[in-house]
Amino acid sequence: MAVDGGNMAQAVIDTAYNERKRLHTGRSRTVAVVLFGLLIALGFFLALVVGKADPNTPPTCDGKTMTRHSECRIWSSRGGGGTYSYDEMIDRRESGNGVWRVVGFGGAGVAAVLMVVSIAKLNPNRPWGQPVGAACPRCRELNLREKHTVHSVTRGRTTHRYSGIVTLCTPACGFSAIRQR
Ligand SMILES: [Zn+2]
């Protein structure tokens, strides 16, 4: 496919503009906090509701509540079949619940760490990119900052990635440039 180099360079610059805007309005951070907040809630739900420790409720066998003296026969083609007593069925249930607690609390912990990292990284007061030690050719001020930026275009199953180091001046000046690494 023929690629129009000029248009793609402008597309990468536009991507950088959009990233800077989302960073400074705090939108990126809001999205990250909501997303990780939902994952933390899901983790707690799995750990505390799905994986709730419940050693006193009678176990069920094939959907029927067991009594103290009943047995449960489980057929399984994957192993783990057999005949289980009331207490053994409670143990089976509790070990299954334990797995959900590990998954739930583990997932919530990872999401919490990622949330803290993204709050710091996506701080709206944090400037976009790295400072450039040269004056802007348009406004002559030392306001230039640069960042490696990727613009992805998906056509069907193929994703094309165009990237470059984008240099931006302040929005008031509007100067932009792109170069390859
Ligand atoms: Zn400038």
The H or E element spanning position 90 is helix 86-121
153: its two tokens: 């275009």
For residues 77 and 141, membership in a common domain is answered with no
Gap between the Cα atoms of 36 and 32, Å rounded: 6
| Local confidence pLDDT in tens for the 181 residues of the chain | 344 566 899 999 999 999 999 999 999 999 999 999 999 999 999 999 999 988 888 999 988 999 999 999 988 887 778 899 999 999 999 999 999 999 999 999 999 999 999 999 998 988 999 999 999 999 999 999 999 999 999 989 999 999 999 999 999 999 999 998 7
- Cα of 143 to ligand 1 centre, how many Å? 6
For residues 137 and 118, membership in a common domain is answered with no
- Cα of 162 to ligand 1 centre, how many Å? 25
For residues 43 and 119, membership in a common domain is answered with yes
- Cα of 128 to ligand 1 centre, how many Å? 15
How does DSSP classify residue 126?
A: S
Q: Which of 107, 123, 139 is the last residue of a domain?
A: 123
Give the domain range for residue 117.
Answer: 33-123
For residues 45 and 100, membership in a common domain is answered with yes
For residues 118 and 154, membership in a common domain is answered with no
- Cα of 131 to ligand 1 centre, how many Å? 13
Q: What is the pLDDT of residue 4?
A: 55
For residues 139 and 62, membership in a common domain is answered with no
DSSP-based three-state secondary structure for 163: strand
For residues 67 and 82, membership in a common domain is answered with yes
For residues 56 and 75, membership in a common domain is answered with yes
For residues 91 and 165, membership in a common domain is answered with no
Q: What is the pLDDT of residue 5?
A: 60
Number of domains in the chain: 2
For residues 41 and 104, membership in a common domain is answered with yes
The residue among 150, 172, 128, 154 whose CA lies nearest residue 13 is 150
Q: Which of 123, 147, 163 is the last residue of a domain?
A: 123
For residues 8 and 90, membership in a common domain is answered with no
For residues 59 and 132, membership in a common domain is answered with no
Q: Which of 78, 97, 123 is the last residue of a domain?
A: 123
Q: What is the pLDDT of residue 48?
A: 93
- Cα of 145 to ligand 1 centre, how many Å? 10
